[in-house]
Structures are given as C-alpha cells and as structure tokens.
Chain A
Amino acid sequence: MLALVSPALLVIGLLIVLPVGWLAWQSIYHDGFTLEHYRRILTEEIYWRSFALTFEISLFATVIALLLGYPVAYAANAAQKGWGIFILALVVLPFWTSVLVRAYAWLALLQRTGVINQFLRYLDVIDTPLALVHNTFGTVVATVHILLPFMVLPLYAAMQKIPRDLMQAGASLGANPAHAFFRIFLPLSLPGALAGSTMVFVLCLGFYITPELLGGGRTVMVSMLVSRNVELYNQFGAASAVAVVLLVSVLLIFFIASRFISLDRVLGQK
C-alpha cells in the first residue's frame, strides 16, 4: 500500500509541503529568529482592517453566489438533458476567459461612462451616474461572477444524486411542490451547497487582481498586503508572515466547520 501511494506523497511533498514549509520558515528566520513580522501583523491596525474586509467580502460573495447559483443549478438539473448541458456550458464558458479580461470587462460595464450607467441615463432613471465601481460594490460583483461556476458545479453534482422518485413519493403522500422542495429536495442538496460555499469562500480569500482593478485602491484585501509587504520591507519573510496568517485562519475555518459538518462528505461528495 505504502509503495503504491509513495509517488503521490512525493509529489505532494515536493510541490506543496516543501514550498509552504519554506515560506513559513522564512517568516520567522532571517539572519536569526525573529517574530517581528508577526508582531507587526498583530499590532498594526491596517492588517486587522484588511483581514476583516477580506472576510466580509468573502462572506458577501459566498452568500450572493449561493443565491444566484442555486436556481441555475436547479434549472440545469431539472431541465431536459440537452438544455441542462447547455446551461452548464454557459456557466463553464467564462472559465476560458482570463480573470484580467473579465475584470476589465466589468470596468467597461460598471464605470461612470459604462454601459449600465449610460443605459440608466438614457431611460431617465438617474441624473448623475451611479458609483458602481472603484469601490467594494464593484469588487463583489466581479468576484461573484468569477466564482459562480465553483458554486454551480458542486450544487449540480449534488442535485443529480437526488432520486427523482423521492419527489413523486412526496407528492403521492400529499405534499404540494413547494412543500416537497423544502422538505425533501433542499435538505438533500445541502451538501452541494456547503461544498460550493466552502470553495467560493476560500478562493475569495485569496483574490488579488479583481480588488486591485475594481476596488479603486481602497479595497485592500489580504493578498494585496502580501505583495505590498514584499515591496515595502524588501523581504519575502514579511510577505510570508501575512500568507501564513491567512493560511492558518483558513485552516481554522475548516476545523470549526468540521465540528458541525462532515467535511469529507462535503468535499468528497460521497
């Protein structure tokens, strides 16, 4: 058994454990041991603000992605086979467009002279353009768009596993469609929702290009602090410390989540 998994363990060790370990080591060792980088993160307000903002944006994006993604996955699941595939294709299609291009596309849509503001002015709904971008709002919109497939796909996979007979059985026992949905379908689809939410939330924590381009400079997420630390302190250690704190907080979230839900069921889709 060990002989069989050892190549896989070697790959994981070389590609994941070693670099991450090296990163963590740099954050405490530079010409001698130092906790200076961690002291800075714990005592300086700007780090707290960034971490709070990052978790806030991630939470927002996750909730919105769930609200938008659920009906899409439901439609793909309920539709005729061909239509279902068509809907999924539309969801997956943006994957092949670079995140950078999509960020600029959102800029073209949301900015003061952008398509949406022009249209609203044309309809006489507004006099002065709305501030849709260069703020947290624009960041969340683009983030949700980029992360939506990560919500829809696990949801769809979970829904596919729900036997359709169950709904019919519920109906034969007198449940109306809404009742059947809330009592049978929704609870059974929850593992998919949890898997999708975990994916979206964790990916969002590390977002960089989107807040950089659409946040107007004020939306400083943790990943931006990482790059800024390299520039300001000229040491990878300073940046590593921020990355390590982010990593540890993600692991902490997983740990807390695992107390309430079965994580391997959620992520492994068993």
Chain B
Amino acid sequence: MTTIGFRLFGPALFGASLGVLELAASAAHAAEQITFVSQGGAYQQAQTVAILDPSAKKLGITINQDSIPDAWPAIKTQVGSGKPIWDVVDTPTGYCLRGGEQGLIEKLDFSKIPNAAAMPEAYRSPYSVSYEFYSSVLAYSQKTFPKDAPNSWADFWDVKKFPGRRALRNHPIATLEAALMADGIAADKLYPLDVDRAFKKLEEIKPHITVWWTSGAQSAQLLNDGEVDMEMAWNGRVSAVAKEGAKVAYTYNQGILQSTSLCILKGAPNLATAVKFINEAVDSVHQANLPLQIDYGPGNPKAFETGVIKPERAAQLPSEPANAAKQALMSYAWWSSPQGEAAEKRWAAFMQK
C-alpha cells in the first residue's frame, strides 16, 4: 500500500522528498531495477506469470509494476515535468509513435534488442516493439444466427440479409478500416485510408447501430445480454464471454489486427536496464507463454515456432500466421500521421450529427 501511495503522491511531494529519491536512485544501482507499466487486470496478471517474472529472474533485475488503463496523459505529464518515474510502458502502439514524434519516447537502439530482429518490419517502429496482438473482429450471437452467420464487414452492412441490432466502437480506429472493407477494399490495400469514402459508408449503417460502445467491458456485456445481435469487438472479450457460456462467436475474417507495444519514456531513470528488459520481454519463449495465460497473441511470431503453443491453441490466436493472413494489419503510422489525427477529429462531429 505504501508504495502505491508513494507513486500517487510522490510527484506532488517531489520537492520535499528530493533527498529521499536520490537515496532510492543510488540504491537502485546496487541491484538493477525498472518500473514497468501496463493496463492492469487479468491481462497484467497473465503477463506477470508469462513474461515479467521469468524475465526478472533471468536478468537478475527487479521489475516494479504499476498499472493504469490509459497511460498517455501520465506519459505526457511525467516526461513534461522532466523527471519521469516510469521506465517501460506497454501501451497501444499508436501512443509510442505519437510520443516518439513529440519527444516523449526514447528512440530504440535495435542493435541491443537482437530478439526483435526476427520480427517483421511492420511489427516494429523506431520507438517501439510489438508486445502482444489482439484483433477487432466481427462477433455475433449464435442464437440470432444459428447458421449462415455474418462472415465479413459486407455482411455486417447488409441489414436485409442479416436483420438484427448492431453495435460499433465509438472510435474511428478499426471502424474506418471495417467500413472500407465493407465497401470492397482489400485488407492489404487499406492504407492510406480513404477517409471520405469510409465516413460515407458509415453513414449507411449509422441508423442501424443501436449502441456505440466506449469500453471493452461494455461491448462484452452488450453481446452477452443479447442487447445486440452483432458487433465489432476485441477477440479476447468475445472469447471470455463465450467461456462463460454465452452463445456467441466471432470470425477472424477481415479482422483488424492491432497490437500494444513496449516503449521507453524519454529520460527514463533506468534506461540501460529498460533496453535489456525489452529484449528479454520479446524473447520467443516468454512470448509463447503469454497465450497459455490469456487469449492474446504473441508480439513475436517466432513464438509459434517454439513448440510451446499447441496447434489447437495457436489456431485460436489473432497473430497466428494463418489467422493473421485473413486480417488487415493496422497501420499505427497512418493513424498518428496528420491525416489520421484529422480523421479522429472528424469522428467526433460524425457521432453528433
């Protein structure tokens, strides 16, 4: 409890406790340590077992953990104050890129991260390494669609052939991609997004959307309670509801493959150890252990070659090569570009009209 209290109030008391911090910093050199931040909940527990604890043991370092649902404002505030207390964050890849451009995130020296060398170019950026994959998929109620279930975004848009209530996420990311695929653009030809065309297609389905959801928990509840018959949702949320016994399913066909990445705060207190940790965290064996704990795919595709993940299990994961091939890979570079930011702003106006 005291450490949590310190983390919360530490920055406020910073001036008063400068001496104490300095002491803590010098103690840190004796045994290397980093502060790692993720999103909490079942997900952070899973990665603690699969990745964090084994990495700490292997490297002989201490990994202090913190969690926050949305790290972005905290990253801005910490780096802006000139004295960040976090080292490594696990956050949606777009924030690492945007942060990199704004001078909030350290550029990575990939010569010190050999484990990332085998990863596809698209899974890396100068500021980040993919850590785990999830997917925005088309999910549906098996009660409403016992057979001939919707299998593509074109089906989602086809309200005559598939009558029923629908939900989409109240956010342009992945939603614009889905609209363009519904309009006939191939999954590998999406970027740069034709924003006008996407919004035009969304106008078509807008009257049929019952709920624009804002949180993952809400999307799961909508499907579980039968409030909607089909929706865009994150694969892990749908499979969790299915495990609880709800008659729901999803398809990876035309899913939008998304990732969180690891990146380091600019001026992180333990930079060298943080880089060492990142290399260890994307090691294929640690990565292969993650899907044994939770329904997310490894960020390093080499994990599928370790033999740790059984073929039946691999088939369920969003980043398994055959599943990945059916999907669109989200371009975070596009979303953090000026066009991407403009599309996000346009979304707010679209929702209110």
Contact = CB atoms under 8 A, between A and B. Distances in A.
Q: Do A and B come from one complex?
A: yes
Interface of A: 44-46, 49-50, 107, 111-114, 131, 134, 212-213, 216-218, 220, 228, 230-232, 234
A217 B202 CA distance: 15
B248 to A, nearest CB: 14
Contact of A113 (B98, B225, B344, B348): B225
A50 B345 contact: no
Contact of B351 (A113, A220, A234): A220
Interface in B57-78: 72-73, 76
Given A217-B214, A218-B212, 19 more contacts: A44-B349, A45-B349, A46-B352, A49-B352, A107-B221, A112-B225, A113-B225, A113-B227, A114-B225, A134-B211, A134-B227, A213-B218, A217-B170, A217-B213, A228-B348, A231-B72, A231-B344, A232-B344, A234-B76
A162 B165 CA distance: 54
Nearest to A113: B226
B210 interface: yes
Interface string B147-172: 00000000000000000010000100
Given A113-B225, A113-B226, A113-B227, A217 B349 contact: no
B351 A217 contact: yes
Contacts of B98: 234
Contact of B226 (A112, A212, A213): A112
B351 A218 contact: yes
Interface of B: 72-73, 76, 98, 102, 165, 170, 210-214, 218, 221, 225-227, 341, 344-345, 348-349, 351-352
Central interface residue in B102, B341, B348, B351, by most chain A CB within 10 Å: B348
Contacts of A231: 72, 344
B289 to A, nearest CB: 33
Nearest to B214: A212
A217 B211 CA distance: 6
14 contacts: A45-B349, A46-B348, A46-B352, A114-B225, A131-B210, A134-B227, A212-B214, A213-B214, A216-B210, A217-B214, A232-B348, A234-B72, A234-B76, A234-B102
Contacts of A218: 212, 351-352
Contacts of B214: 212-213, 217
B348 A134 contact: no
Contacts of A112: 165, 225-227
Nearest to A50: B352
Nearest to A44: B349
Contacts of A217: 170, 211-214, 351
Contacts of A213: 214, 218
B226 A230 contact: no
Contacts of B349: 44-46
Contacts of A212: 214
A216 B76 CA distance: 30
B352 to A, nearest CB: 5
A212 B211 CA distance: 11
Contacts of A114: 225
Contacts of A230: 73
